[in-house]
A and B are shown apart, each in its own frame.
Chain A
Amino acid sequence: MRRKQDTLTAWLFLAPALIIFLVLIVYPIGLSGYASFTKWKYTAGLKGMKWYGFQNYINIFKDINFSSAIENTFLYVLITVPISILLSLIFAYLLNNKVFLPKTLRLFYFIPYIANAVAIATLFQSWFRTDGLINNILSIFSNDTVGLKWMTDKNLCKIPVMVMLVWTSLGYLIIIYMGALQNVSSDLYEAAEIDGASKTKQFIHITFPMVSQTTFYLIIVRMIAVFKVFVSVNVMSMKNPARYNTSIMVEVYNTAFSKMQFGKACAEAWILVLIVLFFTAVQFVGQKKWVHY
């Protein structure tokens, strides 16, 4: 084909993508990296940056809000990711040929995934209020639960966030798992059936290992998504000024746009980037090691 003209055409075709990429992505990434080492009086614009060394990074780890944000975010990841993965695998397993009308039924599970997260967060806030639906339902079973403060208690307020994280993630995970499960050969199940393996044993010894590659991928995808959690926490903590349930992104947002400490906010954001990059790297390396084929 016509080589020389190709080069020109190629760069012309790439130009729109490259311009946005360089101006609105690469430049801001670089600037925020630099800014994280400065004390930044933002009203003075770019000139307001003063070299601050590692002081921002030292300060954020002394900051109680940010330490609890890190702690909470890791807690959210540790608790919600396994639950999401396990539930979605079970549901996908049942939805795949174990039920009538699988395609219609899976639509139900999909709705929370596409519904506006702000809407869902405000809804959960209403449900978890002291006089909300959750406490009303719990009061049927036990009198001890009357007046549980789901939204304001130091520890309890993390539960609505986690419920929302799991509830909204399942639709996506189920769709991916259903695809993966369809690729598991039915011969394996038939052989197991002949050997007299129970359905539970088949699930543990055939289904689970056969989709391990997908599981590994989804674990990483979910971990990264949960590390970046913002909407649910930000909306729910609006009515709880103590922000006991705060997350890394919520702190970045508040440091930047409530306290107007831009250098510090960039440092906090870079901690998030390092965490995400670490787990992306784990994915690249680990995929080969821990996955059965």
Chain B
Amino acid sequence: MKIKVRKYDLASKTVATVIIALIGLMFVLPLFWMISASLQINGDIYKYPFQWIPTLPRWENYAEIWNSGEVPLLTMYGNSIFIVVFTNLGIMFVSILAAYAFAKLQFKGKGIVFSMFICVMMIPSQVTVVPRFLLFKDLSLYNTLWAVILPALFSVTSIFLMRQFFMTVPDSLLESAFLDGAGHFRILTQIMLPLTKPTVASLLIMNFVTCWNDYFNPLVFLPSKKYYTVSLGIQYYYTQEVPSTNLTMAMSVCAILPVLILFFTCQKFFIESITSSGVKG
């Protein structure tokens, strides 16, 4: 049904657009501030009024964090990328197999395992940090990137979302493959997986962002500077004795930029990953 657009509707729509856009601007303004501050000398950042567009942009700040002797930018990017790539690959491997078992296989104990997963989902993972700390020390995984990667591989949300998707694939499709002599592994890799691309993409994006922005786990498990991730890099500049807001902001820009680029290129999947994980069953 179509509602006729009346004149006052058009006017009120324009007013609403302007208001929403102005408020929306407040949400990106901090990013502009961040970029401006990252291009100034530290003393100028707290001068009044703030220079939103620096007259003499100081690109040397970026060179400084790039060339830093203790925490070179590339090392931190490398660590973060390593963690993100292996976490994501691992989550996909673990979740797709488990989801297929839950969605398409009949076996004893399915209900129990499934409800165990649900129960644990409610317990915040932070409670396990102390035992994990000791466990990883014992296994000599403490202060290696794997200490951050391994616990993240079990993602209940990813398993559930994949399972939900697999359940929508009709059993008849599987059965005809069975008749042709295909096993479960072949059905999964050759029939199911090609169908799951959109779901996988949403999950990858969701897990990429969580993983890239993670702070708590690297903070606890990665004390050496050579293993610093981008989040710890920001903290490094932030906690320097010499005030260096400009470098902190330059590092922040470097940490946010990859996520923003991804966001603007794959908006659709971002929104999808939110709506699908937010839907309550």
Please list the residues of chain A having a beta carbon within 8 angstroms of any beta carbon in chain B.
1-3, 6-7, 9-11, 13-14, 16-18, 20-21, 23-29, 31-32, 35, 42, 45-46, 91, 94-95, 98-101, 105, 107-112, 114-120, 122-123, 125-127, 129, 131-133, 136, 167, 170, 172, 175-176, 179, 186-187, 190, 217, 224, 228, 230-231, 235, 238, 249, 252-253, 256-257, 262, 265-266, 269-270, 272-273, 276-277, 280
Contacts and interface: CB of A to CB of B under 8 A. Distances in A.
A159 B271 CA distance: 30
Contact of B13 (A100, A125, A172, A190): A100
Given A122-B252, A235-B235, 16 more contacts: A6-B184, A13-B97, A13-B100, A20-B94, A94-B16, A99-B13, A100-B13, A105-B20, A108-B25, A111-B260, A122-B234, A122-B238, A126-B46, A175-B278, A238-B238, A266-B127
Contact of B24 (A2, A109, A256): A109
B98 A16 contact: yes
Contacts of A42: 134
A187 B34 CA distance: 46
Contact of B97 (A14, A35, A109, A253): A14
B202 interface: no
Contact of A262 (B126, B130, B259): B130
Contacts of B274: 172, 175-176
A45 B20 CA distance: 56
A123 B239 CA distance: 13
A230 B138 CA distance: 27
B97 A17 contact: yes
Contacts of B124: 224, 228, 272-273, 276
B95 interface: yes
Given A123-B252, A277-B123, A14 B13 contact: no
Closest 5 CB pairs of A and B: A108-B24, A119-B252, A28-B128, A28-B131, A10-B107
A53 B223 CA distance: 33
A276 B120 CA distance: 12
Nearest to B280: A217
Contacts of A14: 97-98, 101, 113
A107 B219 CA distance: 30
25 contacts: A1-B106, A9-B101, A10-B110, A11-B107, A13-B100, A14-B98, A14-B101, A16-B97, A17-B97, A25-B154, A26-B116, A26-B120, A46-B134, A98-B13, A99-B20, A100-B17, A116-B256, A120-B30, A127-B30, A131-B46, A133-B33, A170-B27, A175-B271, A230-B215, A253-B220
A15 to B, nearest CB: 8
A127 B255 CA distance: 19
A3 B248 CA distance: 59
Nearest to A176: B278
A96 to B, nearest CB: 11
